[in-house]
């Protein structure tokens, strides 16, 4: 079995450490914080724990998992690829589309696996929706809208768009069939800190006329995680909190009359998505096939993130 080293054992990295350890694939952990290193040693006494990233690059591990702050993703992932290893990078892949493209191109040139942590693509519900839409039963997919709100952990180094939206941008692209972006329109509100958006609304238009709307907020009273798909024949609603997908057999006919043939709940397997994502990375290393969320998927997501940020700038420019 392939072995990996996780770089960063903090807020999200500790979950990756646990999953790769339980899969029997964890060769070590790199963590700069003395306090976090001590926690890892206490929890996993049989594990190699490093303070030096270079030791990970010189190890025999086949893959490196990057779970560090977003501004470090590009330089660390590039160093991994240059060391001849496969790399998994948490979202967002980078903070610049040009850097994301450079990583994807270099990985292709070197024949390395480059995978991005777009976790929702490994949820059973999203996989079921993708496959169901591909069968054409819902008709042409016209529009996807997402809502991701809660009273969340506010950051100083990034706004809610860069923190929350990579999940939903990846889902929108997946459910619309990876269309080419045509136009973005964004509005944001900075309520807690100057120039750091806490609440963002984004309208996306794609080549071919498909559209999407994304709303994300970490300053909201209710936890909402919802994805709605509008097809020409049916509508799908995924409630992430409950884990349910409802198919509404509703449409508007050519005479502009409402048609309603009822609704039903989808049935699908729902294994833990993070475990699926980690196993997928290991499978890609072993079998040398492109990940579902490969580097070019990361490029497409970062491109939208960046274009939206440009639309927000001037009103509430993001502080990197």
pTM for the model:
0.93
Are 266 and 279 contained in the same domain?
Answer: no
pLDDT at 157: 79
The C-alpha angle with vertex 303 and arms to 275 and 95, in degrees rounded to 5, equals 70
Could you report the per-residue pLDDT of 267-280, keeping only the tens digit for each?
A: 999 899 999 999 99
Q: What is the mean pLDDT of the chain?
A: 95
Are 308 and 159 contained in the same domain?
Answer: yes
Are 57 and 141 contained in the same domain?
Answer: no
Are 108 and 190 contained in the same domain?
Answer: no
Could you report the per-residue pLDDT of 196-212, keeping only the tens digit for each?
A: 999 999 999 999 999 99
- Domain span at residue 254? 121-271+304-312
pLDDT at 196: 92
Are 11 and 99 contained in the same domain?
Answer: yes
- Establish if 298 belongs to a structural domain: no
228 CB contacts (<8 Å, ≥6 apart)?
Answer: 144, 145, 146, 235, 236, 237, 238
Are 85 and 130 contained in the same domain?
Answer: no
User: Percent of the chain having pLDDT more than 90?
Assistant: 92
Beta bridge pairs of residue 89: 66, 116
Number of domains in the chain: 2
Nearest-10 crossing angle of helices 97-110, 73-82: 10
Is pLDDT at 315 greater than 60 in this prediction?
Answer: no
pLDDT band at 158 (very low <50, low <70, confident <90, very high): confident
Report the C-alpha gap between 291 and 313 in whole angstroms.
Answer: 33
- Establish if 299 belongs to a structural domain: no
Is pLDDT at 316 greater than 80 in this prediction?
Answer: no
Are 214 and 234 contained in the same domain?
Answer: yes
Is pLDDT at 281 greater than 80 in this prediction?
Answer: yes
3-class SS letters over 284-301: HHHHCCCCCCEHHHHHHH
Is pLDDT at 91 greater than 70 in this prediction?
Answer: yes
Evaluated on CA atoms 224, 222, 71, 19, the torsion sign reads negative
Are 151 and 83 contained in the same domain?
Answer: no
Are 136 and 209 contained in the same domain?
Answer: yes
Nearest-10 crossing angle of helices 160-176, 295-312: 130
Mean pLDDT of 70-80: 97
Report the C-alpha gap between 274 and 278 in whole angstroms.
Answer: 6
- Which CATH number is 73's domain given? 3.40.50.720
Reading the block at residue 69, the tokens are 């702050």
Is pLDDT at 318 greater than 60 in this prediction?
Answer: no
Class of residue 265 by CB neighbours under 10 A (exposed 0-12, middle 13-18, buried 19+)? exposed
pLDDT at 313: 81
- Establish if 319 belongs to a structural domain: no
Are 223 and 96 contained in the same domain?
Answer: no
Is pLDDT at 314 greater than 90 in this prediction?
Answer: no
Are 264 and 226 contained in the same domain?
Answer: yes
- Which CATH number is 170's domain given? 3.30.360.10
Report the C-alpha gap between 308 and 320 in whole angstroms.
Answer: 15
Could you report the per-residue pLDDT of 100-156, keeping only the tens digit for each?
A: 999 999 999 999 999 999 999 999 999 999 999 999 999 999 999 999 999 998 988
Could you report the per-residue pLDDT of 7-39, keeping only the tens digit for each?
A: 999 989 999 999 999 999 999 999 999 999 999
pLDDT at 271: 93
Could you report the per-residue pLDDT of 176-198, keeping only the tens digit for each?
A: 999 999 999 999 999 999 889 99
Could you report the per-residue pLDDT of 231-270, keeping only the tens digit for each?
A: 999 999 999 999 999 999 999 998 999 999 999 999 999 8
pLDDT at 190: 94
Are 63 and 179 contained in the same domain?
Answer: no
Short-list 55, 63, 58, 9, CA closest to 31: 9
Is pLDDT at 308 greater than 80 in this prediction?
Answer: yes
């Amino acid at each position: 079995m392939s072995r990996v080293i996780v770089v960063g054992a903090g807020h999200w990295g500790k979950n990756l450490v646990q999953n790769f350890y339980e899969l029997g694939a964890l060769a070590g952990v790199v963590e700069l914080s003395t306090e976090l290193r001590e926690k890892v040693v206490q929890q996993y006494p049989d594990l190699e724990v490093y303070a030096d990233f270079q030791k990970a690059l010189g190890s025999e591990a086949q893959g490196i998992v990057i779970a560090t702050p977003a501004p470090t993703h590009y330089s660390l992932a590039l160093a991994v690829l240059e060391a001849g290893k496969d790399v998994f990078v948490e979202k967002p892949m980078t903070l610049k589309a040009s850097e994301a493209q450079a990583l994807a191109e270099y990985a292709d040139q070197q024949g390395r696996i480059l995978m991005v942590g777009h976790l929702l693509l490994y949820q059973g519900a999203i996989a079921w929706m993708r496959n169901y839409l591909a069968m054409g039963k819902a008709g042409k997919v016209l529009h996807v809208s997402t809502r991701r709100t809660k009273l969340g952990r506010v950051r100083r180094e990034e706004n809610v768009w860069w923190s929350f939206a990579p999940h939903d941008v990846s889902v929108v692209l997946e459910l619309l069939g990876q269309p080419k972006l045509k136009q973005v329109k964004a509005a944001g509100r900075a309520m807690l800190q100057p120039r750091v958006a806490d609440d963002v609304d984004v309208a996306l238009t794609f080549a071919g006329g498909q559209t999407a709307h994304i709303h994300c907020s970490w300053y909201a009273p209710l936890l909402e995680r919802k994805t709605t798909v509008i097809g020409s024949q049916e509508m799908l609603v995924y409630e992430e909190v409950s884990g349910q997908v409802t198919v509404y057999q509703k449409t508007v006919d050519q005479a502009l009359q409402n048609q309603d043939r009822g609704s039903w709940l989808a049935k699908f397997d729902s294994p833990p998505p993070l475990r699926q994502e980690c196993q997928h990375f290991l499978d890609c290393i072993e079998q040398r096939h492109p990940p579902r969320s490969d580097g070019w998927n990361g490029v497409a997501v970062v491109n939208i993130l960046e274009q939206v940020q440009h639309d927000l700038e001037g009103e509430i420019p993001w502080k990197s």
